[in-house]
Structure 1
Amino acid sequence: MRKRLRRRQGGGLVDEPDYALVGVVRIPESEKSPARAIGRRVLWALAALFVCSVIVYLDRDGYIDAKEGEMSYIDALYYTSVTLSTTGYGDITPITESARLINIIFITPLRVLFLIVLIGTTLEVLTERSRQAMKIQNWRNRVRNHTIVIGYGTKGRTAVDAVIADGGKPAEIVIVDKDQAALDVANAHGLVTVRGDATKSDVLRLAGVQHAAAIVVAANRDDTAVLATLTAREINGHAKIVASINESENTHLMRQSGANSVVVSSETAGRLLGIATITPSVVEVVEDLLSPEEGYAIAEREVEPSETGGSPAHTKDLVLGVVRAGKLYRVGDEEVEEIEAGDRLLYVRQGGPA
């Protein structure tokens, strides 16, 4: 019975060969200039032409020229050109050096260009799947301590922007979503994407959830958010999971599912709307604090040795709270009247990169 259960739990996308994951997992492509790519191919072709012509010329005594006479380097270059381009002449054969030079300067480059466009493009299409499979394999082998964002709607995109604004790298962020259009947008911004249902363990494993440092659950539905959180926590018991829900009544479900922090988007927006009707300047300050690119931002840092033993109110920064043993205390609480070594300070800093 246990063996059958293990077989049922195994399998899925995570056990598929890498070539079968092409289209499911997408690694961002670095932008390349088409002119530069073609130019590189032309240089390789010219280099091959030159090397081969030198070899032929050094062994010129082993060749017979139909026009007779000693074989010159131009003859060797001509022979190399028509050989590498798989061109053969029958009843019409250029026998003068000038005619052969024209073939070298004009005809052969055009022929090479044709081969680049035809054969090069065909080979690129044929090898694209293998190249993508190799990139997926390399990514799966090295992805560690990354951030997974489940859902790339408005909340997911805003969360990604905040992570990047705080110093996160796009290459270390993985998007999981079922909407291909949303994944296309994410991939265009340099993010790794995985297409699939985030409530399924094989999809999350494919995104590397077992090695993730943080997981952001930004699903549109609360039930989806609960299941995705529960599945992610079952696979990774140490990652920080931050989830967004629409209704506050589901907060306890998110907590029980393993979320470290829960944001109730509807109530938060409602509070800001209510405050804006009375004191709109307060909303501007809150928005400023939530926008790390400019103005002020809320950040967290380690305690400096000179601050140990002192009061949070007497530090060089405006401290809002103290994190001790994973628990947040507000400034003024008796437990944090004195700063201890190992504490972390929640403070207001100048906006911009941390």
Structure 2
Amino acid sequence: MKLPGQDAIARQADEHLVTHRVMLPRKVVEHPFRQVARRVIMALLLLVTTALIVYADHDGYNDSSDGSVDFLDAFYYATVTLSTTGYGDITPVSDAARFTNIFVITPMRVLFLIILVGTTLEVLTERTREEWRLNRWRSTLRDHTVVVGFGTKGRSAIQTVCATGLKKEQVVVVDPSSKVIDAATAEGYAGVVGDATRSEVLKRAEVHKARKIIIATQRDDTAVLVTLTARQLNKAAKIVAAVREEENAPLLKQSGADAVITSASAAGRLLGLSVLSPAAGMVMEDLIQQGSGLDIVERPVIKAEVGKKPRETDDLVVSVIRGHRVLGYDDAAVGTLELTDRLITIARATPGSQIAPDVRPLPRG
């Protein structure tokens, strides 16, 4: 099955180079105008201080024009000295004035020059710091979660995953819009600007070291290409993709997705259920929202539950996962629970608490 626009996307990927870069979360920095204003004020304070020091000992200086140094001459001397111009028309002649120039005015001159070139130094320092952070991030990042697309679906997916205890530092967002990535980094996530259908973009997101990949693109054909590329780079990662049309779900699974969520159909079924039974619709919406009310979670069978039937456990068991099969709680094939089984249960969410590491939320629709 060929999706609409698939050929156009492939041609565009071959014909155009996509600019991509990694952006790490950063603290809010001061506005550039405030930085410049602060440096100007500091430079003026140094200038005034130097002029006052010179004027306080004006008898120790000689002006070649009239022999005396007044207040204006002191400011003039401070200006040409701090700027390293040094015309030589005003010179220190006393020992005290020369001592002051050596141990006071010279360090102030160096500080004045540092302030003047502070912007350039800050840019160089920031660039070096950013490179160091990026290299360190790449060397320590592994078993993370890559989210392709930071729209409504992508944001909700990240919130659900982070509710299980995953740190924001372990989430990498990939999106072609720099504004979207700016929003992601502002929330504490690392971001990569670029087209996720290109392997070099996913490599920058370290997708080959990821444990989970969530694909929440706006178009189904894009989701197929991203899934193919991600699966080629990482054979072991769990890939979950969202599609708008249900007929494209089998194609996503053939492309390498472990699970496919049909967003349009899921929303439509929830709307229909809410029409038939508003209360049932409210319950389903509560189950979908992670961390409040009731949650659907997946957990292992504990030793005390081995040998019991699903209905005999303390939790409300919905299904039993045995091997690669998902069995209903009333399926005759379940029999009694085994230690290697996993249970899908409905549990009461505790506000402010995190799900245990071995307890996973059920993938949402």
Specify which of 4, 23, 42 is matched with residue 26 of structure 1: 23
CA distance in 2, matches of 1:268, 1:216: 17
Specify which of 266, 269, 272 is matched with residue 270 of structure 2: 272
- Partner secondary structure for residue 214 of structure 2: strand
Listed as ranges, the gaps of 5+ residues in structure 2 are: 1-18, 36-59, 61-81, 356-365
Contact 1:166-1:292 within 8 A present in 2 as well: no
CA distance in 2, matches of 1:31, 1:316: 48
Greater per-residue helix proportion: 1
Contact 1:244-1:262 within 8 A present in 2 as well: yes
Read off the aligned partner of 2:286 and give its amino acid letter.
D
For residue 74 of structure 1, what is the aligned residue in structure 2? none
CA distance in 2, matches of 1:203, 1:120: 35
- Partner secondary structure for residue 117 of structure 2: helix
The correspondence of residues 175-194 of structure 1 with structure 2, limited to 5 A, is 175-194=173-192
For residue 167 of structure 1, what is the aligned residue in structure 2? 165
Specify which of 249, 252, 256 is matched with residue 251 of structure 1: 249
CA distance in 1, matches of 2:29, 2:179: 23
CA distance in 2, matches of 1:222, 1:148: 18
Identity of aligned residues (%): 43
Read off the aligned partner of 1:296 and give its amino acid letter.
L
Deviation at 1:166, TM superposition (A): 2.3
CA distance in 1, matches of 2:326, 2:172: 28
CA distance in 2, matches of 1:159, 1:259: 16
CA distance in 1, matches of 2:194, 2:243: 20
Specify which of 327, 341, 349 is matched with residue 347 of structure 2: 349
The correspondence of residues 165-314 of structure 1 with structure 2, limited to 5 A, is 165-314=163-312
CA distance in 1, matches of 2:112, 2:289: 53
TM-score normalised to the size of structure 1? 0.72
CA distance in 1, matches of 2:113, 2:169: 36
TM-score normalised to the size of structure 2? 0.70
Supply the RMSD in Å over aligned alpha carbons: 3.7
Deviation at 1:165, TM superposition (A): 2.0
Listed as ranges, the gaps of 5+ residues in structure 1 are: 1-20, 39-65, 67-84
CA distance in 1, matches of 2:325, 2:115: 62
Q: Does 1:339 align with 2:337?
A: yes
CA distance in 2, matches of 1:110, 1:326: 74
CA distance in 1, matches of 2:238, 2:341: 18
CA distance in 1, matches of 2:118, 2:300: 55
Read off the aligned partner of 1:145 and give its amino acid letter.
D
Tell me: CA distance 1:109–1:290, structure 2 relative to 1, closer, same or farther (3 Å).
farther
The correspondence of residues 120-135 of structure 1 with structure 2, limited to 5 A, is 120-135=118-133
CA distance in 2, matches of 1:92, 1:252: 87
CA distance in 1, matches of 2:232, 2:329: 35
The correspondence of residues 34-73 of structure 1 with structure 2, limited to 5 A, is none
Tell me: CA distance 1:122–1:231, structure 2 relative to 1, closer, same or farther (3 Å).
same
- Partner secondary structure for residue 142 of structure 2: coil
Contact 2:83-2:113 within 8 A present in 1 as well: no
For residue 323 of structure 2, what is the aligned residue in structure 1? 325
Read off the aligned partner of 1:164 and give its amino acid letter.
C
- Partner secondary structure for residue 336 of structure 1: coil
CA distance in 1, matches of 2:106, 2:345: 68
CA distance in 2, matches of 1:300, 1:149: 22
CA distance in 2, matches of 1:314, 1:32: 57
Deviation at 1:317, TM superposition (A): 1.2
For residue 42 of structure 1, what is the aligned residue in structure 2? none
- Partner secondary structure for residue 347 of structure 1: strand
1:66-120 CA-to-partner distances (Å, cap 9, x unmatched) read 9xxxxxxxxxxxxxxxxxx8989974548669x96xx96xx89987875564333
Tell me: CA distance 1:114–1:303, structure 2 relative to 1, closer, same or farther (3 Å).
farther
1:257-314 CA-to-partner distances (Å, cap 9, x unmatched) read 1111111111111111111122111121112112222212111111111111111111
CA distance in 2, matches of 1:341, 1:132: 48
